[in-house]
Structure formats: structure tokens, C-alpha cells
């Protein structure tokens, strides 16, 4: 694994500020791990123990809420950084987009069988 401060495979971005794709993949992995932990907790409850079942349900809800809040905060921290680079790219893409819109307006859709016969 790369040392702290080394350049990562994310377009030359340093590891101090992970790129959005890396964060999203990490979030998916963390959600998967949480699901496994939840499954273990659910299976640990004996069949007739309502009190234990309620405690486990509360703990699961708390864990899910904490993870969701943490992920939202991390994504919010990354969004402003990535928006700066996105705005530069969208300016370039806007010129291409107008050309594509004009070309798509001139071409008509698929002709029906009746139109083909005429």
C-alpha cells in the first residue's frame, strides 16, 4: 500500500484527500461489513428472547444511523473539492453538448412502417 502523502492512482491526487470513487468504494465495503455484523447479531438472539431481540434491533438501528451519518459527512467534505474540477470540465463539455443537441434535433426518430411505404 502507498505511504501517506504518496500519489494514488486517482489522477495524481494525494491520499490526504481521497478521490470520490475511492470513497464510494470504501463506503460500499463498509456497508457490506456492517450487513455481515448485523446478520451475526440477529443470529445471536435466541428464538424466544424478546428483550434481547429488541436490544439487538436498537443496536442495529444505531449502527446503521452512525454509518450513514459518517458517510454523508465524508461525501459532503469531498463534494466541494470535486466540484471545482467538475466545473472546469463542464465548461469544455458545454461546447460539445450544444453541438450534439443541434445534430440530434436535425435527425428524426425511427420511421414507422406507414412512413416507409410512402
Say if CB 59 and CB 34 are below 8 A apart: no
pTM to 2 decimals? Answer: 0.55
| Residue 30 neighbours by CB under 8 Å, 6+ apart | 67, 71
Secondary structure of residue 19 in the 3-state scheme = coil
Q: What is the pLDDT along the chain (118 residues), one digit of tens a residue?
A: 444 444 445 654 444 567 888 999 999 999 999 999 999 999 999 999 999 999 999 999 999 999 999 999 998 988 777 666 656 666 656 555 555 555 555 556 788 888 888 8
Unique residue bearing C-alpha cell 416507409:
116
Amino acid at each position: 500500500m502507498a505511504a501517506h502523502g504518496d500519489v494514488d492512482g486517482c489522477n495524481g491526487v494525494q491520499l490526504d484527500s481521497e478521490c470520490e470513487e475511492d470513497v464510494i468504494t470504501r463506503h460500499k465495503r463498509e456497508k457490506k461489513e456492517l450487513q455481515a455484523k448485523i446478520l451475526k447479531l440477529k443470529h445471536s438472539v435466541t428464538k424466544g428472547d424478546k428483550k434481547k431481540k429488541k436490544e439487538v434491533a436498537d443496536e442495529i438501528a444505531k449502527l446503521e444511523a452512525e454509518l450513514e451519518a459518517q458517510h454523508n459527512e465524508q461525501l459532503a467534505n469531498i463534494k466541494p473539492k470535486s466540484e471545482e474540477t467538475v466545473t472546469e470540465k463542464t465548461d469544455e463539455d458545454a461546447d460539445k453538448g450544444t453541438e450534439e443537441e443541434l445534430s440530434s434535433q436535425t435527425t428524426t426518430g425511427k420511421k414507422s412502417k406507414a412512413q416507409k411505404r410512402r
